[in-house]
Structure 1
Amino acid sequence: MTTRGSARGLGRGRSARDVVVLGHSLGGVNAYQLAACHPHLVSALVIEDIGAVVDDDLSFCLSWPHRAPTRSALVAELGDAVRYLTDAIREYADGWGLAFRPQDMVASHGQINGDHWDDWPASSCPALLVHGAHSDVLDAGHAHAMTSRGADVRLVTLPTGHTVHDTDPAGFAASVREFLMHLEV
């Protein structure tokens, strides 16, 4: 979550309405649902690569190891998934593991599977939808449908997969910066 102005600024004439909420994937659904349920709290949304309909099965994560003797052993066991998990790898007293329990991630993600069109965009705040052109989570047709359903939704597509912020940090930052600069202050 980020704000236009510092958190301290809220006490000097700023309000909770000055909050811009940014979310990626599961966090993106959480962000637009927050705006739908509490529109008075959110002035704008930045949603990264998630749709209004979610139908994913993350049960493959349950095969990830709890611990490995070395970081490189853990990375090898995670395989291709490691590209999403590098920031979540930690050393523990009993070896190397993830900063979260895969069972919790699977359960949490299972709770968002379904149709969320009623929540997207239920608030009138401006929204930026950042889409990875090669995403396996959000396809171009769904991204365009989301854009057409909102009064003030902008779509930016970058040549990445699902983790736009990680794959193209400069393009992601430039897109978000431009969106924030055009918000009414």
Structure 2
Amino acid sequence: MVNSDDKTVAIRKYFKSGNLQLSYIDFGGESENVLVMLHGYMANARTFSELAVKFKDWRVISLDQRGHGWSDHPSGKEYSRNDYINDILNLIQTELGGQPVTILGHSLGGLNAYQFATRYPELVKAVIVEDIGVEINADFSFAEKLPFRSASLKELRDSLGSVGLRAVDYFSESVLEDELGWGFSTDLKGLQISVPQSNGVWWEDWLSSNCPILLIHGKKSFFLDMKQAEQMEVRRPNTKLVVFEECGHGVHSDDLDGFYQIVNDFLTEQNDRIN
């Protein structure tokens, strides 16, 4: 992170994961405590920009997951569960020296986070899972109806509403402009391969790790219901559920300060236990 006139500037970096070049934003910090942030579908690393800078005692790394943001779109449409997990592994091994990290994941990122913790427990200190469950049946077929490019930003945003999406601001996070017009940085065709492979019943993965997990649920979410969230806490030891009554699927954007406070308290508690 560069410090100029008391203003911090996050640095975009790149690394190889298999045959892909992936991108991440390094928000810096000298701390040995590393917090890796993983966004949801049709978002990107900058989704967490306002949140990341609040963690003064952490080095925060926010990844553009494959097919999103500035990361490559796999030509062969490799979007399996293992592909996402291996990307996190390569990030930690090649960019972070193989040190154990704490992972915060929203939606798709939350699924990737708790599945990674099961497969590589030695690399995970704790996990924060934001509004994703273990019985997932997402439908992103609307993405097939979105235009490749639009003449204006308004026209593109209107296209989100025309396919029935309510969270227009959330899905607008991945918008870009190039010489062809306004479009999405997300691999829209790749979603039709990735999402079905994220769908499923993942109780075994959820229950097989031992690290502390903070599960954050927005009670007005369209993605995770209260009953399932409660069962995730009850059935898995070392799990804490926090419910935001007035928030939807994107708790970190609906209540930035409240989300930060809950996460920071959890991180402080985990560090106190270790020390």
TM-score, normalised relative to structure 2: 0.62
Corresponding residue of 1:174: 261
Pairwise CA distance, 1:86: 2.3
- Mapped partners of 1:161, 1:6: distance in 2: 28
**How far 1:5 moved relative to its partner?**
4.5
1:15 to partner: Cα distance: 6.9
Match of 1:68 among 150, 169, 183: 150
Supply the distance in 1 between the matched residues of 2:138 and 2:131 (Cα, whole angstroms): 13
**Is residue 58 of structure 2 the alignment partner of residue 2 of structure 1?**
no
- Structure 2 CA distance, aligned partners of 1:105 and 1:120? 23
- The amino acid across from 1:87 in the alignment is E
Matched with 1:11 is: none
Answer 1 or 2: higher relative contact order, Cα 8 Å, separation at least 6: 1
Which runs of 5 or more structure 1 residues have no equivalent in the other structure? Answer: 8-13
CA displacement 1:92-117 (0-9 Å, x = unmatched): 11100011122212321110111100
Aligned to 1:21: 103
CA separation of 1:23 and 1:95: change in aligned 2, threshold 3 A: same
| RMSD of Structure 2 on Structure 1 (CA) | 2.0
The residue aligned with 1:145 is 231
In structure 2, how many angstroms separate the alpha carbons of the residues matched to 1:121 and 1:83?
34
Percent identity for Structure 1 against Structure 2: 38
What residue number does 2:116 align with? 34
SS for the counterpart of 1:43 is: strand
Instruction: Confirm or deny: 8 A CA contact 1:147 1:154 kept in the other structure.
Output: yes
Q: What is the CA distance between 1:165 and its match in structure 2?
A: 0.8
1:89–1:99 Cα contact (<8 Å) kept: yes
SS in 2 for 1:182: helix
Note closer, same or farther for the CA distance 1:101–1:5 as it changes in structure 2 (3 Å cut).
closer
Which amino acid is 1:89 matched to?
V
What does 1:96-135 align with in structure 2 at a 5 Å threshold? 96-135=182-221
Aligned pairs, number:
179
Output the CA distance in 1 between the equivalents of 2:261 and 2:243: 12
CA distance in 1, matches of 2:268, 2:142: 40
Aligned-pair distance for 1:66? 0.9
CA distance in 2, matches of 1:154, 1:147: 6
Paired amino acid for 1:116: W
User: Structure 1 residues 142, 125: closer, same or farther in 2, change over 3 A?
Assistant: same
1:35-94 deviation digits (Å, cap 9, x = unpaired): 000110101000000001111221122111110001111111111342222221111111
Secondary structure of the corresponding residue to residue 51 of structure 1? coil
Distance 1:106 1:132 in 2: 26
- Counterpart Cα distance in 2 of 1:27 and 1:20: 13
Bigger share in helix: 1
More strand by share: 2
Q: Which runs of 5+ in 2 are unaligned?
A: 1-33, 37-56, 61-96
Q: In structure 2, which of residues 227, 241, 250 is the aligned counterpart of residue 163 of structure 1?
A: 250
